[in-house]
Amino acid sequence: MAIHKLEIGEFDEIDYDLIAIHTALEDYRLAYFINQKLPIILGKSKDEVHIQIKDGETQFSRFYYYDTENTVSWNLIQNKNEVFQQKRETTQDLFSETALEMATKVYLLPEFKKADYFLKIENTEDMINVSEIKQILNTIEDITTAYAVDTNQIKSKNNLIF
């Protein structure tokens, strides 16, 4: 009987490119401008990206397009969001039994706190020129900057699995 061994490194392969985008645009407006510049049609996905942290759970908006001709998946994902918590304070003064709402900023990739969105391009296999896409994104007037992210430097890679 033959024994087949699988190395854990076989599953750790990164098959996507990631572009960080800095902008003040809302997610739907950014997707609209990207659709105008690139030959893709990003649409709002019902499957948002869920992240569990110690303060609670949050969701990041996601726009998705699957290119059937090239078998390439495009994801535009929000990087910043907030988790709201209700805290009750019981003190013996005028404001006793007041409920405070505390907001905590949460990041999809905490290593890139300044990035507002990420464009994740899966299954590229050298079919797509990422530097050309970067240049096209930088031509959008309301994008401050767009740059490629070295995927080997990301510590929270599990947040990009969806």
What pTM was estimated for this model as a whole? Answer: 0.80
User: The tokens of 112 are what?
Assistant: 């890139």
92 or 56, higher pLDDT: 56
Handedness of CA 111, 118, 135, 32 (dihedral sign): negative
Of the chain, the percentage scoring pLDDT greater than 90 comes to 46
- Residue 10: is its pLDDT beyond 50? no
Please tell me whether residue 112 adopts helix, strand or coil conformation.
Answer: helix
Instruction: Return the exposure string of 57-77: e unless at least 16 CB atoms fall within 10 Å of the residue's CB, then b.
Output: ebebbbbbbebeeeebebbbb
pLDDT in tens, 136-157: 999 999 999 999 999 888 888 8
- Give 45-73 pLDDT, tens digit per residue: 988 888 877 767 788 999 999 988 888 99
Tell me: the pLDDT tens digits for 36-46? 999 899 999 98
State how far Cα 9 lies from the chain centre.
24
Across all residues in the chain, what is the average pLDDT?
84
Tell whether the model's pLDDT for residue 160 goes beyond 80: yes
